[in-house]
Structure 1
Amino acid sequence: MSATTTTCAPFSRAVVGAMKKLYPPALADSSWDNTGLLLEAPFISSRRQSNNVLLTIDLTRAVADEAISLNSSIVVAYHPIIFRGLKALTLANTQQQTLLRLASHGISVYSPHTAVDAAPGGLGDWLADIVTGTKTSYNRSSSDADAEGRSGGPRGESEENASVNKDQGLRPPMFKLNHHPSQTQLRLVKQSSPASTGIAHTRRPVVPQSPELESHPGAGMGRVVHFKEPQSLHTLLDRIGRGLNNPKGFPIAIPQNTSVSDITISSVGICAGSGGSLLSNLDVDLIFTGEMSHHEALAAIEKGQVVINLFHSNSERGFLSEVLAEQLENAVVREWSKIRTDESGDEHLKEALAEDDFEVIVSEADRDPYGFVILNDTE
């Protein structure tokens, strides 16, 4: 490769190669989705980025600021920041402004989106692991879980202000705003026999991948779980809460004239993000997704189904720290080593290829746009 060839940073190319092997673009729903390398920032040897990749669900201005401050080489954003064709790139549009800022700092952007949903061991299976208690690729340390149970998670700014006001003898604010944290404190554990843990069940895709990829057998959109023995809804709610790092709450819809304690679940339809169109015609007891419309939820409970919504991106975000970070780190080791070997003779890239160390970082700024307003007792 000559010095005049325009390309993105070698480390960015290693990340893209790793993501494509983990989650091939062929698994994505190309009828509407937009996956792949969405922003390819030119590599400039005199302004070299750090060998780190930032993982996020949504590429917001705050996440872009984080990537710039980290001097990241590339951002892997689960949701595509570009969905449709662009006729112009201007600073007037906030999302285009983010892309232009990242490009000016030499930071590329890759989006895998529905390829992650469909892949075996991807988002669909992570959510299925949560409802079945089958932590196949990760496990929380008991000390972390106990600490979170005692403290209820990190205090938000409003809660801190309430404490200050109370100490000063002033009336505390009537509410506090809580957001689900972007990261979870986890201890990753490789298990030799994943099937030996959790609740006995079978699972399959809602829509199997066709044609099936030889490298990713069993892929497909969504998951359907059938329990060998019916599970109480109360037990599943507890399992979901713990699996999602104890959020402040999430919406649930149950059929009228029933109560949570009366309901048992034998089958679950699962879809990360917005699952209405994929799950609405399934014959299952529970629909477990990120969001459904008002009328879709009404239709479900009229059929006797239960609906659990997690808020759209809160059904996806924990996957980054619990699964993807380690997957990507292992895959990048191989891709980075190959690039460093294959391109070692290129003097233009000599400095960029000198370091074998790199880092996979999960965004601390990424969060769902919705939080919970929790009203204080004013009596």
Structure 2
Amino acid sequence: MTLLVDTVFDLDALLTDEERGWQQRARAFATERILPVIEDDFENAHFRRSLVPELAAEGFLGMHLSGYGCAGAGAVAYGLVCHELEAADSGWRTFVSVQGSLAMSALHKHGSEEQKSEWLPRLAQGEAIGCFGLTEPAGGSDPAAMTTRARRDGGDWVLDGVKRWIGLASIADVAVIWAKDDDDVVRGFVVPTSTPGFAATPIAGKLSMRASIQCDVVLDGVRLPAEAVLPGAQGLSGPFACLNEARYGIVWGALGAARSCLEAALGRARTREVFGAPIGARQLVQGKLADMFVEYEKGMLLALHLGRLKERGALTPAQISAGKLNSVREALQIAREARALLGGDGVTSAFPVMRHLANLESVRTYEGTDEIHQLVLGRALTGIAAFS
């Protein structure tokens, strides 16, 4: 399946055969299984859970992890899958991110062998769904100020607190919950969602990410055995390592939404006639399309560079911040330009642009706002932290 944007800039030439295989599989899945239903699902705020085992069968869940039934794919291959899924809808790239880059990565990086063996194969096969509880109602940009507590009670841990904007929590089988212990050290806990005291409620009234699920979570005396703690995580470096995995996926994913908007604008430019000619024949329109295309391809080259760095083990948090900031910012601008070129029809569900634009506003906020990533880069450039 050749896209219009691919005919001008041959990015595929920079990929391996294996990477192109993952890309084409994800593109086919998005085209055949997500696109036919996504407008209705977005309109009805419906998460189509039946697609989860199908995603698992393609190997997409935790695909960048090794062992425990995971595919062990490279970073670029994972990025390309994120790109193709988000070209259909941000909600489905978000699902793969929450499942694989957050919940599964937390277990893979920080869990005990028993925790890994119990949960990772089930999560990879889509037999279980995971979530990642870090953000709280007072704000997500300052996780050090979290109020969720984990206290020792004999040989057990007891968790109390509230989390917000937790993806998949109401349908999850297991949650990775981050809380401060009695020494104010951030610890991670593996919490089966059937545990008494765990409650998740989907957030209503969303005008973005409507085909996805985000929840409020209440932890009311959630009692866990000692072995529920993630042994490899102490301090904020534990959750941050997982957030960087998710942010990396966004670098690629947001550009998938941008590509979808650019493709819609290109198609319309060739067919919509004004003043006796297609609008694509007008210099102003061609200038806008060219600018959109250039920013899209620059973003893709940056994503590819970051992927190669990640595969060498050389990718830094500041580099990820540069990618996330650029991809989402440029994707939003491309979506806005595409909406304008589509005219009044651009605000209808006949085209995917307004849906992508609404979704990207959420993507802009989660896994670090623009401002947080600017401050990360500012610290890297100056050596001075300006977070407070």
Both structures adopt the same fold (TM-score exceeding 0.5): no
Query: Does 1 or 2 have the higher relative contact order (CA < 8 Å, sep 6+)?
Result: 1
TM-score, normalising length from structure 1? 0.29
The structure richer in helix per residue is 2
TM-score, normalising length from structure 2? 0.28
